Structure 1
Amino acid sequence: MNAKSLLLVGLLTASVSAVAQSGANVPSSNQPQPWKSIPIPPLATFHPVQPKRIALKNGVVIFLAEDHELPFITGFIEIKGGSRDEPAAKAGLVSLYGDAWRTSGTTTQDGDKLDDILEAKAAKVETSGDIDSTSVSWNCLKQDEDQVFGIASDLLMHPAFNEEKLTLSKQQMAAGIVRRNDEAAQIASREASILIYGKNSPYAREPEIATVMSVTVADLKAWHDRTVIPNGMIIGVSGDFDSTAMEQKLRGVFDSLPPGAPIQTAKQEFPGPKPGVYFVDKSDVNQSNIRIVGLGTERKNPDFYALSVMNEIFSGGFGSRLFQDVRTKRGLAYSVGGAYGASYDHPGTFYVAASTKSTTTVDATQAMLDEINDLKTVPFTEDELKRAKDEVLNSFIFRYDSVEKVLDEQAKLEFYGYPLDYLDKYRDAVEKVTTADLERVAKKYVDSSKLAILVVGNSSEMGTPLSKLGTVQPLDITIPMPPGMAGPQGPGGDQ
């Protein structure tokens, strides 16, 4: 060590020694802490600017939101009817429809030609299929709006479903099905949904190779004719435009469309999972994916707001009871989280999930169950309530901090039949939640005896057997293969 280095070390040592002896700059419990007295003003009243709503006589609902900050325009056409409405024997139809719709193009321009046109303009036109809807969306520069919207509306009105593009989509989906047991987390998520809703429920139903391969171009055309009707459409446009001119343009395309018979989603029963311990033995992993699952609620439930606050206390990030106990204090999980989920028009899912070492599978599961049970027995504190409300409301505001986000949410509320002032009332409803409300909903909605435990892991590496948690029911995740078609099989799906 040279003289300069020795001098630096000496000065540093002397400085540390002086600080230690004098106690300078080392705060003690008796010293004032003025930062704790800084006043934090209440959140300003939040009233998101509502988009202009236009209802056409044929049932089309249009939302327009001007935003002149940048010269872009974004739009979507949401159409009622999704994979929950497709025949079970054709599971996968809506997803294939969403793919082949765009790639096939229109009766005047095929999908490859559309790709070239849009790429030259840095624009997009996309189609997709979801659980309850299909959609066409577009975004482009303001100067290209007429042409790009023309392509989107042409796709909507004059699709040309192509056999070759459908075949390509079917091959891609079949390849995904064959590999769906590769990842333990993917298995856990899929099988958890099946436990919650039931194997034959449209909310958990899985496409199989046979159902995918049975879909034809005629099926896509029939689905299109069945769903693309004005009284099943919600249109949203945001960006740099004049609302009056945009309304006239949209009326010119949609005003004359005749209404049809909208899709009626079949009523479903939601009994929840059959309690028990379910296991998928996956021999190529050294950790376990754990899910404790049950039914959640709907957003229209008056208790939704109290449940949202309870959920934040229970599983809302690093400061939650679940994280602090299972991961921070006990060190039993690499990751842990959960939610008392709420969907718009059917019960969401209640789940607690963790990944842990194989040897600590049972300990981690028991710790998660303890935290669930504690919701009914450990009183909620005012500090917990305040923190949870702050986090719920702060995150709520940032979900709607742009014109486009508010437009999307308003269209969603329209789609599911919610009041358009839902966002305005949300904050007040959350603010009114009390600790008594939390205790009431915890006792009403949390019942560990109605939950199912799912573990995806390696049984040969588990120290404590799963049977300590209850009778174990193995799950067969073998992928059904059509006659004459080989695939990666095996009872555990590991091969």
Structure 2
Amino acid sequence: MANKFLTFIILFGLSLSAWGKDEQVLPIQHWTLANGAQVYFVESHELPLVDLNLSFRAGSAYDGRHPGIASYTARMLAQGTKHLSADDIAEKFDNVGAIYSHSTSRDSADISLRSMSDEAYFNPAVATFTDIINHPNFPSTAANRVKQQLLQALKYQQQHPSTVATLAFYHDLYQNNPYGHNPLGNAKQIKNISPHDLARFYKHHYNGANTVVAIVGDLSLAKAKTLSQQLVGRLPKGELASLPPLTMKTTASLQQHIEFPSTQTSVRIGNIAIARSSPDYIPLTVGNHILGGNVLTSRLFAAVREQRGLTYDVASRFSPMQEKGPFMVSMQTRNDKTTEAIAVTKDQIKQFVQQGPTAKELQSAKQNIIGGFPLSFSSNASITNMISAIGFYELPLDYLDTYRGKVDALSQQDITQAFQQHIDPDKLLTVTVGAAVASQSNTTTNG
């Protein structure tokens, strides 16, 4: 969910000559069902399609004593219900041309459906989708099959240094916090998860209080209200899931190196930054556009790639979540250039934190972000992602309407202060995965 939201928000803005800063961008309708489920709806008749997304507070941060169970549960929803087998479900969607998908992040589990709006196709697709949401039965045969898929996925992760670096970065940054472990879990724990465990996780997390429904497409408001009740109105109210607040603080610059037989080293640099609710979200994301978010014109790209040829690509991003998410720089470089690439990157971060952007850089970033706004509305699916994030992270309904004005009003000082508040260049975590590199302070090496 967080990554989807970051993708569209970077594109936010619109030519101010076309739309006033505070004009309504999307006519978002919102209501709450009796069981606490939050529903967001945008009516759009341009295409005969309807997109549905259900976001549950059931991401990997809620795994508890069973790392990987959130992802495992989401994968199992369409593997059988009290009324249908996995083959039945696949056939019913295929017969009406509907597309079902699921994903799991650290914060949420998302279940999605795209269907044609003609009732001959839409009604059967929704009936199957509703059954999946409300009546999964976690059959043991399917559970064993999905378990093997997860175990294979874990093995696949370990074959890719970039993935190993990102997972190690989160682990070292968050340590024992729920954000720290691999969202897929680990092989030992996955092997021990039973269908009963899956059913229990579903019961605790797939309830009205934890649900955000996004509906976009070719149907009326009245039909959307009936649809939302059909989809999740019968889920028990339950209790709103919450995460423990982050209390950890980095007190020194740390580096971990993981040996990997590759010609290049994958590098991750960063620290814990902000929650999605932070008032500094906008100045940080606009500032990051200058530092490393807009890859081809960023400071990091110019210094690391263009001027020194140390990497093919380098980028930075904030990944805010329900609790504080990370700021992270990602790159790959030749093994013998790793130390230099890291030094140049850290120097660029330090300069930006201390001095902030130039007036020219800020004006260009504003134009890029505001000017890219129409791309955010290029499909029902992109709009669905937007309103899902607005609902899940409890943003105001006018968030899109006011965003352009807030971006346009930013000063150099606003961005500098935000970076100085949330990024400490002297206390960054660095993770490298590749052939051995020169040791730095507090380095540990894992085979």
Which TM-score applies when normalising by structure 1?
0.80
Q: 2:297 aligns with which of 319, 322, 330?
A: 319
**1:362 and 2:300 equivalent?**
no
SS in 2 for 1:450: coil
426, 437, 443: which one pairs with 1:472?
A: 443
- Displaced runs of 4+ in structure 1, greater than 4 A? 40-43, 252-258, 401-404
Alignment-mate amino acid for residue 221 of structure 2: S
Q: 2:275 maps to what in 1?
A: 298
What is residue 343 of structure 1 aligned with on the other side? 320
Q: Residues 274-321 of structure 1, C-alpha deviation per residue, up to 9 Å, x if partnerless?
A: 522221122x21121222221122333222222222211111221111
Contact 2:96 2:124 in 1 (8 A): no
Structure 1 position 410, deviation (Å): 2.5
Q: Contact 1:53–1:62 at 8 Å: present in 2 too?
A: yes
CA contact (8 A) 2:98 2:116 kept: yes
Give per-residue Cα distances to partners, 1:372-396, cap 9 Å, x unaligned. Answer: 1211445632211111111222344
Tell me if structure 2 keeps the 8 A contact 1:197–1:273: no
Higher mean alpha-carbon deviation, 206-215 vs 223-232, is at 223-232
> Cα deviations across residues 330-369 of structure 1 (Å, max 9, x unaligned)?
1122221212x14142222112222111221111111111
Deviation at 1:401, TM superposition (A): 4.5
Checking the alignment, whether the CA contact within 8 Å between 2:74 and 2:103 is kept in structure 1 is yes
Task: Give CA deviations for 1:99-154 in whole Å, capped at 9, x if unaligned.
Answer: 12212x22122111221222122212344443233343222222311111111111
Deviation, structure 1 residue 272: 4.2
Q: How does 1:448-463 map to 2 (within 5 A)?
A: 448-459=425-436
- The one of 141, 152, 162 equivalent to 1:185 is 162
Q: Distance in 2 between matches of 1:281 and 1:258?
A: 48
Over 3 Å counting, the alpha-carbon distance change for 1:167 and 1:379 in structure 2 is: closer
Contact (CA 8 Å) 1:304, 1:342: kept in 2 or not? no
Which amino acid in 2 is paired with 1:139?
R
Which of 190, 208, 212 is the matching residue for 1:234?
212
Which of 109, 131, 144 in structure 1 is aligned with 2:84?
109
Given the superposition, is the C-alpha separation of residues 440 and 87 from structure 1 closer, same or farther in structure 2, using an over 3 Å criterion? closer
With over 3 angstroms needed to count, the CA separation of the structure-2 counterparts of 1:222 and 1:295, relative to structure 1, is same
SS at match of 2:83: coil
Paired residues of 1:48 and 1:406 also in contact (CA < 8 A): no
Distance change (3 Å), C-alpha of 1:253 and 1:329: closer
Identity, % of aligned positions: 22
Where do 1:87-486 residues align within 5 Å? 87-88=64-65, 90-103=66-79, 105-143=80-118, 144-198=121-175, 200-206=176-182, 207-251=185-229, 254-255=232-233, 258-272=236-250, 275-282=253-260, 284-315=261-292, 316-339=294-317, 341-378=318-355, 380-459=357-436, 466-467=438-439, 469-474=440-445, 476=446
In structure 2, the residue matched to 1:80 is 57
* Larger RCO, structure (CA 8 Å, separation 6 or more): 2
Q: Any idea what SS the aligned residue of 1:100 has?
A: helix
The whole-number CA distance in structure 1 between the counterparts of 2:41 and 2:263 is 52
> CA, structure 1 residues 248+444, in 2 after alignment: closer, same or farther (shift >3 Å)?
closer
**Does structure 1 conserve the Cα–Cα contact (< 8 Å) formed by 2:214 and 2:384?**
yes
Indicate if the aligned counterparts of 1:107 and 1:158 stay in contact, CA closer than 8 A. yes
Whether the 8 Å contact between 2:76 and 2:138 is mirrored in structure 1 is: yes
CA contact 1:196–1:273 (8 Å) conserved in 2: no
TM-superposed CA distance for 1:164, in Å, is 0.6
Residues 426-453 of structure 1: CA deviation (Å, up to 9, x unaligned): 1111111112223333433332211022
User: Is 1:68 aligned to 2:9, yes or no?
Assistant: no
Q: Secondary structure at the match of 2:296?
A: coil
Cα displacement string for residues 445-488 of structure 1 (whole angstroms, at most 9, x for unaligned residues): 332211022221212xxxxx513x435321x3xxxxxxxxxxxx
Q: SS in structure 2 opposite 1:87?
A: coil
Q: Is the 8 A contact 2:60 2:104 kept in 1?
A: yes
Equivalent residues of 2:53, 2:214 under 8 A apart? yes
Q: Per-residue deviation at 1:418?
A: 2.0
Q: Secondary structure at the match of 1:334?
A: strand
Using the size of structure 2 for normalisation, the TM-score is 0.88
Matched letter for residue 212 of structure 1:
I
Task: Give SS of 2:346's match.
Answer: helix
Cα RMSD for the two superposed structures: 2.4
Query: Residues of 1 paired with 2:365 and 2:52: CA distance?
Result: 35
AA at the equivalent of 2:34: K
Q: Distance in 2 between matches of 1:52 and 1:351?
A: 35
Between 1:412-421 and 1:186-195, the stretch displaced more is 412-421
Distance 1:344 1:231 in 2: 19
Any gaps of 5 or more consecutive residues in structure 2? 1-14
Counterpart contact for 1:273–1:451, Cα < 8 Å: no
Question: Do the aligned residues in 1 keep the contact of 2:134 with 2:235 (CA within 8 Å)?
Answer: no
Taking the aligned partners of 1:273 and 1:350, their CA distance within structure 2 comes to 16
Hey, what's the Cα distance between the residues in 1 that align with 2:389 and 2:402?
16
Per-residue CA deviation, residues 191-215 of structure 1 (Å, 9 max, x unaligned), is 11112211x2221213111100111
Q: Is the 8 A contact 1:136 1:152 kept in 2?
A: no
CA–CA distance in structure 1, aligned partners of residues 417 and 223 of structure 2? 52
Residues in 2 aligned to 1:443 and 1:263: alpha-carbon distance in whole angstroms? 32
Q: Label 1:455 to 1:131 Cα distance change in 2 as closer, same or farther (>3 A).
A: closer
Q: Which has the larger radius of gyration?
A: 1
